[in-house]
A and B are shown apart, each in its own frame.
Chain A
């Protein structure tokens, strides 16, 4: 239920240079595409790799889901966000605005 909450933020701020990239870590292709379509998600959706191209675990050390990193225009990670409960989007919006 978490990802759809990012869609309104994406639509509101994309013209100011805001992007969302969601990486599906478990390679559940069919379930993922169904979910994406059903919820009308239009930001960048990628599928995690396997072996050498696996990034969630090997590179980003993600243990808990959903885990989000907010990256500034210079490629620096300025915020980390674990989980995504009702109301979290307001907090994330403040963080996005502080970087735009």
Chain B
């Protein structure tokens, strides 16, 4: 595999260099792009993918693919390979050369996805307004911005974009984003609930951090009432982490333990809430002794019994969950090939 990959990359490189010398303008980039895609489909490791994306980006920093390539570098080198500095260097070197505001926005924003480990010398407000100067932002863009702004603790940016996202969380706006796809009313309603719940949670958390305590708690309750929850009954957004931290800071310990407990045990992002739950538990208990036992007991008490189902395997045989999982420890994973 490795040898084959190397050969493919070499072919692409030869192609890139060859077409650069022969022609001018956008065409060589496009030719190289189809060669890039052909080579890409044969790659398997994150390292090979990161390298190929970086090579194309370095050769052609200013194309309609720059945003996508930047995201791939951030994902494969930054996250999969655990080299955020390398990913930052590769993408940051190209950002200033990207002229298309759409591509420049995506490439710049993808750098903020590395902000946990790398200092990103960009201003999220400037990145957002550069694209806003060209056209109104969509829901996903507002969401990307408010999530980044929340991580960076830029509360006014977070509040504004969360609020703008909430305004766009409507059935009409969702359907307009996917004009070619048919969605049932039920599906659209659930996506709108998801968007409303999430944007309100972030808006509330920004408000709380700006010192607007009562409006923040009102928004937390509103976000909860929207009822966008997972199969396990916990919001599919960080609402309970935010609300629980706010309750803890306000000295409402019982509420904090309840919210952070549900999030830590059965939420989608349990890792970030556990330390706050420990803090809330210690406030309730006097110290954090017995925390693990408390977690385990609460887990057993709140755990939900799984619903059985029957589906076909790839030989066409019906298989039910119970056939496989009775008296076993079972990992049930939902996936699709990308």
Q: B329 and A96: CB pair below 8 A?
A: yes
Q: A70 and B304: CB pair below 8 A?
A: no
Q: Roughly how many angstroms separate A34 CA and B41 CA in the complex, as a whole number?
A: 14
In the complex, chain B residues 267-306 whose Cβ is within 8 Å of any chain A Cβ: 267-270, 299-300, 303-306
In the complex, chain B residues 43-82 whose Cβ is within 8 Å of any chain A Cβ: 46, 79-82
- A17 with B334, Cβ < 8 A, contacts A48-B311, A86-B80 known: no
Q: Roughly how many angstroms separate A31 CA and B330 CA in the complex, as a whole number?
A: 25
In the complex, chain B residues 285-338 whose Cβ is within 8 Å of any chain A Cβ: 299-300, 303-307, 309-314, 319, 321-322, 324-337
Smallest distance from the beta carbon of A51 to chain B beta carbons, Å? 11
Which residues of A lie under 8 Å from residue B194 when comparing CB positions?
Answer: 63
| CB-based nearest A residue for B313 | A46
Q: B79 and A77: CB pair below 8 A?
A: no
Interface size class for chain B? 35 or more
Q: A71 and B268: CB pair below 8 A?
A: no
A interface SS class:
mixed
**A19 in complex: contacting residue of B299, B305, B330, CB < 8 Å:** B330
B178 within 8 Å of A (CB atoms): no
Q: Roughly how many angstroms separate A73 CA and B327 CA in the complex, as a whole number?
A: 4
B131 within 8 Å of A (CB atoms): no
- A21 with B314, Cβ < 8 A, contacts A76-B303, A76-B306, A80-B267 known: no
**A59 in complex: contacting residue of B299, B307, B329, CB < 8 Å:** B307
Which residues of B lie under 8 Å from residue A45 when comparing CB positions?
Answer: 313-314
Q: B334 and A73: CB pair below 8 A?
A: no
Which residues of B lie under 8 Å from residue A9 when comparing CB positions?
Answer: 331
Which residues of A lie under 8 Å from residue B46 when comparing CB positions?
Answer: 1, 86
Which residues of B lie under 8 Å from residue A28 when comparing CB positions?
Answer: 336-337
Listed by A's residue number, 9 A-B pairs whose Cβ atoms lie within 8 Å are A25-B336, A63-B194, A63-B236, A70-B332, A71-B329, A71-B332, A77-B231, A77-B303, A77-B305
Q: Taking A71-B332, A78-B303 as given, write out 5 further A-B residue pairs in contact, using a Cβ cutoff of 8 Å, ordered by the A residue number.
A: A31-B337, A61-B229, A70-B330, A71-B306, A73-B327
